[in-house]
Structure 1
Amino acid sequence: MTIHLHKHDLPNGIDFGRAVAIDTETQGLSLVRDKLCLVQLSAGDGDAHIVQMDRDKYDAPNLKALMLNEDVTKLFHFARFDVAIMQRDLGVDTMGIFCTKIASGLVRTYTDRHGLKDLTRELLGVDLSKQQQSSDWAADELTQAQMNYAASDVLYLHQLRTILTARLVREDRLEVAQSCFDFLNTRCRLDRMGWDEVDIFSHRLRRAD
């Protein structure tokens, strides 16, 4: 594995092909309080690119253009958070989403364990380390351990998409999965507007269980 660290934006001319795995790191999980620190990307070739964001201005035209490119599928695990944080800080919607967590929830109905670590262990036989999950991602200089952890979150998403797509087809749930993916930008806007824990589709508006 080779990790490429970029300051503030992707370099000109970088090509991830037709599908790119993406993850983000923030100081916490609050869409109100915590800023975007890193964006990790992989073409599925075993290498990772990490963009260390400028948290004062988020001037990243190449990264933003990639998010808006409908010809490139963006692979996430729990896209709901990553897409929302990029809506807020980069000011863009993400086009062409595939979320492995949503796909897992639709086809792995024999379990309630849909974390990335659970998926890679069961479907790929890979045991991911989460040791650096709680870390200072706003540090000026990232440690090698931080970079390795950040990279690991995007290295396996292409393989997971292949397996989960086959199961979605088998269970005749690919169309409903795509509808969920297409709705994510709206779902994220609702989260940011304060409806993150309220089921607006229910007859009685209430906090989601």
Structure 2
Amino acid sequence: MEFTTLTNNRITIELVSTPEGLAQAVADLSNYKELALDLEFDQNRFTYGFNLCLVQITAGNGRCYIIDPFEIENLRLLFTLFEDQTITKIIHHSNNDILLLDKMGCRIRNVMDTDVAAKILNYERSSLATVLKEEFGIEIDKSQQSSNWNKRPLTEQQLHYAALDVVYLHQVKTKLVAEIERVGRLNWLQEEDILLENLRYTESENPHLRLRNASRLTYYSQFILKALYQFREALGMEMNKPAPFIIPNDALVELASEPNVDIHEWLNHTKGIHGRLKRSSYEKKLMSVLEQAKKDAAANNISFDYPVNQFRRPFRTAETEKRKEDLTTIQADVVKNFGEFAGRLVINQSLINDYSYTGQLRCTKLYATQIIFDTADRLDINLPPPVIVPQQNQE
């Protein structure tokens, strides 16, 4: 790197790119009880996969450490700091950060999410830029928001932008939490933050079926699609490029639906195919994958029938409509009392639809369940006992 320390607007930005520098930063940060942090990552935008590019972290004392994981092989010291239950980690919109850390083997603890805090206070737009402008009159430059964080060396503009994502978070947290306490919703924030901490990264069991129109293919074509998808993923990893950059999703589904096409013609007349795939060696690999998939499909007697749409909703009945009407009435009252955007944390359309069709009120939040049932009692609406379920893992 061309520099290690920058000073801007009375903020010292220290770039950490060695194991020794990381040890010093962690030793310093361990002395504080509240840390603000953010991650810059790439999720199949410029490179293959879901990868950490930068970590920004500050104790709110005018110094911001920016840690370059590309230069430091072992981040366990940093992860131990994140896992320390005695230190509050202030993050704005932490979902993806938590999932990435979990993917890397770090179970972050004691998270305080300022994005959730803003939603609890009924912010229509809860981005950090919006909160800073509305609460503090601070406007931040977002010109680097779409920056490629994989590139090295990092520019001064990138480092300044990265630092701005954390240097104001202590102020934001103090202001928003004070207002949440004033309106009596601190238990909302505490429970929402615990739910976030418990997010776990999981790989989809059948990611090929999540491609657009894949569910409309026959069982046979879906079988072929799975083989093609795995081939494309391997190429993405090999080339370190997002897999859809190599073969677009719609082209992959199209090929699975018509696996007997002339591959040479298909490669050279399909929009968006990566140039390397048109080379003779890769063309032969693709042909081999297709032929093997067709042989395996025949050997396993894969049907040419279309699958029954598993996402088809049950038929509406008087009973399902009554349940929907009841929860919609409760939702309207919740929105009236707490506001539209805070109300979505308590009761959303997904919960209403699920209750309407199943008759089960499956809740993941205790505070929201209490509000729903208190509202139902006040409106004289009968609800069944709630089914408390853990929040689902996310990818």
Overall identity of the aligned pairs, in %: 29
Deviates more, 1:1-10 or 1:78-87: 1-10
Name whichever structure is richer in helix by fraction.
2
Q: Deviations over 1:150-174 (max 9, x none)?
A: 0000000000000111111011110
Kindly indicate whether the alpha-carbon contact (under 8 Å) linking 2:29 and 2:35 is maintained by their aligned counterparts in 1.
no
Residue number in structure 1 paired with 2:37? 22
Rounded to whole Å, the distance in 2 between the matches of 1:8 and 1:79 is 26
Letter in 2 for 1:42: T
Shift of 1:185: 2.6
Which consecutive residues of structure 2, in runs of 5 or more, have no partner in the other structure?
1-10, 205-349, 359-395
Of 62, 67, 77, the match for 1:62? 77
Residue number in structure 2 paired with 1:36? 52
Residue number in structure 1 paired with 2:89? 74
Moved over 6 A (4+): none
Letter in 1 for 2:183: E
Rounded to whole Å, the distance in 1 between the matches of 2:74 and 2:137 is 39
Rounded to whole Å, the distance in 1 between the matches of 2:35 and 2:64 is 10
Shift of 1:129: 0.8
Of 103, 108, 114, the match for 1:100? 114
Of 129, 138, 156, the match for 1:126? 138
Shift of 1:192: 3.7
TM-score between both structures, scaled by the size of structure 2:
0.46
Which consecutive residues of structure 1, in runs of 5 or more, have no partner in the other structure?
none
Rounded to whole Å, the distance in 1 between the matches of 2:125 and 2:66 is 28
Residue number in structure 1 paired with 2:373? none
Rounded to whole Å, the distance in 1 between the matches of 2:159 and 2:203 is 32
For the pair shown, the structure with the greater C-alpha radius of gyration is 2
Shift of 1:47: 2.0
Shift of 1:64: 0.8
Tell me which of the two structures has the higher relative contact order, counting C-alpha pairs closer than 8 angstroms and 6 or more residues apart: 1
Shift of 1:54: 2.9
TM-score between both structures, scaled by the size of structure 1:
0.84
Task: Give the 5 Å matches for 1:99-178.
Answer: 99-107=113-121, 109=122, 111-178=123-190
Kindly indicate whether the alpha-carbon contact (under 8 Å) linking 1:8 and 1:60 is maintained by their aligned counterparts in 2.
no
Shift of 1:33: 2.1
Q: CA separation of 1:80/1:8 partners in 2, compared to 1, >3 Å: closer, same or farther?
A: farther
Rounded to whole Å, the distance in 2 between the matches of 1:147 and 1:75 is 19
Kindly indicate whether the alpha-carbon contact (under 8 Å) linking 2:111 and 2:197 is maintained by their aligned counterparts in 1.
no
Kindly indicate whether the alpha-carbon contact (under 8 Å) linking 1:8 and 1:53 is maintained by their aligned counterparts in 2.
no
Shift of 1:119: 0.4
Q: CA separation of 1:52/1:200 partners in 2, compared to 1, >3 Å: closer, same or farther?
A: farther
Residue number in structure 1 paired with 2:370? none
